[in-house]
Amino acid sequence: MDTVEKLIVTKNVRRDYRSDSVVVHAVRGIDLTIEKGEFTAIVGPSGSGKTTFLNLISGLDTPSDGAVFLKEREISSMSGNELSDFRRDHIGFVFQAYNLIPVLTVEENVEYVMMLQGVDKEERHERVSKMLEKLDLRGYEKRFPPELSGGKQQRVAVARAMVAEPDIILADEPTANLDSHTGAALLDMMRQLNRDNNMTFLFSTHDQHVLEKAGRLVVLEDGKSVRDEVKS
């Protein structure tokens, strides 16, 4: 029997923000386990805490209380270079605003994280070529992000996240700036990559297309997990 690999574990994670004398309880004690190969969506209305929770999982934010583990390492206790290097090597990011570097070509954007990882030039080129083929971006290698449509820019962002071979890809509202047809097509591609490569995806979203494609839904309300549903 296959051994289940737990990638992300959060234990009673809380995040409070203080503004003058007001305390905002953005995340209120969430326990969550994400296993390898999942295609999971964290959903909820605006203000439910889903983006804050995703930032805590990624190490972009630090919990006020509780702990976050990635591959059994407590990232919530890391800081500085240790956290940056660990995040670079284990987490891929896809953001709502693409976050591509406008002065770099598509090819250079996709290989950027691998350069930081110290992957040699020949392997970088081979992995970039294969990933652009998978995401139907062949022929765009020398284009710059401003020359591309929103859908193609987001495909480049997905390629950049995946080509570095992270343990998990965290996607914060990745379809928010795309029309429904383009967003659905991108999600189909990510779902296929999930199935073909056993790549783990965790989304923060309120997009109905993501909800339909997700294999598991974690519903947040007022900073708490109120439902955790594995779809058949």
What would the mean pLDDT of 58-86 be, rounded to a whole number? 93
* Structure tokens belonging to residue 170: 């965290």
CA–CA dist 179, 37 (Å, integer): 27
Q: What is the pTM of this model?
A: 0.88
Model confidence band, residue 229 (pLDDT cutoffs 50, 70, 90): very high
Q: What is the pLDDT of residues 145-194, one digit of tens each?
A: 999 999 899 889 989 998 988 999 999 888 888 888 888 888 888 898 88
At 16-53, the pLDDT tens digits run: 998 788 998 999 999 999 999 999 999 998 889 999 99
pLDDT at residue 83, as a whole number: 93
d(CA 45, CA 227): 14
The CA-CA-CA angle for residues 119, 102, 190, to 5°, reads: 65
% of the chain beyond a pLDDT of 70: 98
Which pLDDT value is given to residue 211?
A: 86
Instruction: With respect to residue 212, please indicate whether it lies within any of the assigned structural domains.
Output: yes
Residue 1 lies in a domain: no
- Whether 1 has a pLDDT exceeding 50, the answer reads no
Contact 232, 215 (CB under 8 A): no
Q: Is residue 94 part of a domain?
A: yes
Calculate ∠ Cα 82-7-172, nearest 5°.
Answer: 80
Domain of 224, in residue numbers: 6-230
Residue 80 covered by a domain: yes
| Tally of domains in the chain | 1
Confidence band, pLDDT 50/70/90 cuts, at residue 2: low
| Predicted pLDDT of residue 47 | 87
Contact predicate 151/178, CB 8 Å: yes
CATH code, domain with 59: 3.40.50.300
Mean model confidence pLDDT for the chain: 91
- Residue 130 maps to a domain: yes
Over residues 205-222, the mean pLDDT reads: 90
Can you tell me the mean pLDDT for 213-219? 94
Give the containing element (helix H, strand E) for 24. strand 22-35
